[in-house]
Amino acid sequence: MAPPRKSSPGFSRRAQYSLFLGYVAAAGGAVIGAVLLVISTLNPPLFAALRAGVAEVTTPLSSGLHMIRRAIFDLPGGIDEYFDVVDQNRAMKRQLVGEREVVLRARTLNLENRRLRRLLALREAEVTVVATARLVSSTATSTRRFATLNAGRFQGVLPGQPVRGPEGLIGRVLETGPNSARVLLLTDPESLVPVRRTRDGQPAVAQGRGDGLIDVRSAGVADLPFSVGDAFVTSGAGGIYPPGVPVAHIVERARDSAPARVFANPDALDFATVQQPFLPPLPPPPEAPR
Amino acid sequence: MSDIRASRPFEQPTPAGIARAVPLLTVMLGSAITIIPVVASFPILPPFGLLVLLAWRLRRPDAFRTWEPVLLGLFDDLVSGQPLGSAMLFWTLATLGVALVETRLVWRSFAQDWAAAAAAIALCLLGGRLVATPLDAHVDIALLLQLGAGIALFPLAARLVAYTDRRIGR
């Protein structure tokens, strides 16, 4: 194959200079890129406004594409449901009769629980929902795990608020734009969540691995054994995530640190709920007297 | 250069502005692949913006001004989730590297282009991983798969770019 047209400028001095200046500009641009890279590594939220500006344009597009995806994926399920609706109805009626007693017992327990809590004068921070929206896209080409939420400052979403789905914790809000927000998913390598084991309340820390799983590390006892199926919920330590939200279950038997799979699938065609941080952030410390 | 225009001699040539803008816009379109409605739990998509950039650069050295990959990298950083500056740096280094290789080669074959593109993709992906993610994160297998997919998809990107280039007829 003959070589493609060269950008060599021939004998024109002017063209030679402009080519040379182009290379100088490119090298300068690379240096600027390196400087920006260092700055954004040291202070990640610095360029949030720029990213939010672009996300403001791309989020409605993603949202529209998401609607098409939902329409296509809902179709087979809808047809399938139509066919065994009678059988399902009978089975559910049977189940309902069987579970009436359980429900009654649960109601009584619930009432009793509430009364006892009132007796103890337990004060619980109330979890308030800020917004409910869909996660419409994510950083699928990057090794970082961010998702874009279709709600932003106008809907009351602010950085630091926890995001959860119906099955469990999804992550927390990192940056917000007017109508979109960037969510740090649990699976991101820089996400840390304080958790405890449901079985015995052992504290642990869940850190993302970047490959879709998270690592659960013991935070209380050294050498804590983890067995397959151990479930972990948020402990409420740190004040961001409300306690008791399901996080992950262990998939491999190990001691001290074990890989776990998150309960919430952020790619499910469903809603994510943004909540207020469990405890309000502390006021800034008073200025030291001189 | 173009057979399409040779077969249609009375067609107006594409205006110069549009012909200049098309390479830039196609690269930005490739970068914007991240807006597809999928919430991925590991890097599943190859870097399409970079593939298109390399395909244009290797097919036509005059497709971009030397400094334009800096701006394209800036746009990619804004949509890709990498820290700002990483694509600005690595994409520019990649295109400068391609320019360096080009001065040594006289006769070209697609295999050489592919090899150059593979080296450039590897530079950008590995560099991007090093600056974006802590070293102890378990992303390396996913990254290697992504790298393989990127290199394997380069001929497709080159094909699409060649088609677009013939359509704009310059």
Q: How far is A237 from chain B (nearest CA, A)?
A: 24
Taking residues A211-227, what's their average pLDDT? 88
- Cβ neighbours of A62 in B, within 8 Å: 35-37
Q: How far is B10 from chain A (nearest CA, A)?
A: 25
Taking residues B73-81, what's their average pLDDT? 92
Query: B48, B91, B63, B66: which is closest to B1 by C-alpha?
Result: B63
CB contact set of A257 (below 8 Å; sequence gap of 6+)? A215, A216, A217, A218
Q: Give percent of chain B above pLDDT 70.
A: 94
Question: Does the beta-carbon distance from A143 to B43 stay under 8 Å?
Answer: yes
- pLDDT of A9 strictly over 80: no
Q: Give the pLDDT score at A125.
A: 62
Q: Give the pLDDT score at B2.
A: 46
Q: b/e per residue, A195-206, with b = 16+ CB within 10 A? A: bbbeeeebbbbb
CB neighbour class for A249 (10 Å; exposed up to 12, middle 13-18, buried from 19): middle
CB contact set of A212 (below 8 Å; sequence gap of 6+)? A187, A261, B41, B42
- Cα angle value B70/B97/B166 (rounded, 5°): 75
Q: What is the pLDDT of residues A96-117, one digit of tens each?
A: 988 888 899 999 999 998 888 8
Grouping H, G, I as helix, E, B as strand and the rest as coil, residue B43 is coil
Q: Give the pLDDT score at A12.
A: 85
What is this structure's pTM? 0.83
Q: Give the pLDDT score at A210.
A: 86
- pLDDT of B4 strictly over 60: no
Taking residues B51-71, what's their average pLDDT? 92
Q: Give the pLDDT score at A208.
A: 92
Nearest Cα residue in chain B from A36: B85
- Cβ neighbours of A7 in B, within 8 Å: 61-62
Grouping H, G, I as helix, E, B as strand and the rest as coil, residue A165 is coil
Does this complex have an ipTM over 0.90? no
Q: What is the pLDDT of residues A124-144, one digit of tens each?
A: 666 788 999 988 888 888 889
- pLDDT of A5 strictly over 70: no
Q: How far is A19 from chain B (nearest CA, A)?
A: 8
Q: CB distance from A210 to chain B under 8 Å? A: yes
Taking residues B133-150, what's their average pLDDT? 89
Q: Give the pLDDT score at A1.
A: 62
Which member of B90, B93, B137 has the closest CB to residue A209?
A: B137
| Across A21-35, A156-170, A266-280, B66-80, least confident range | A266-280
| Furthest CA-CA distance within chain A | 94
Q: Give the pLDDT score at B1.
A: 45
Residue among B50, B66, B135 with most chain A CBs within 10 A, to mutate: B66
Q: What is the pLDDT of residues A159-187, one digit of tens each?
A: 999 999 888 999 999 999 999 999 999 99
Q: Token pair for residue B52?
A: 């298109």
Q: Token pair for residue A224?
A: 């804590």
Q: Give the pLDDT score at B134.
A: 86
A to B CB pairs, distance under 8 Å: 207
- pLDDT of A18 strictly over 60: yes
Q: Give the pLDDT score at A115.
A: 86
Q: Which has the higher per-residue pLDDT, A289 or B20?
A: B20
Q: b/e per residue, B20-59, with b = 16+ CB within 10 A? A: bebbbebbbebbbbbbbbbbbbbbebbbbbbbbbbbbbbb
Q: Give the pLDDT score at B111.
A: 92
Q: Give the pLDDT score at B5.
A: 52
| Across A122-126, A199-203, B143-147, least confident range | A122-126
Which member of B73, B82, B142 has the closest CB to residue A144?
A: B82
Q: What is the pLDDT of residues B8-53, one digit of tens each?
A: 667 777 888 888 899 999 999 999 998 888 888 888 889 999 999 9
Which member of B61, B84, B95 has the closest CB to residue A4?
A: B61
Total residue count of chain B as it appears in this document:
170
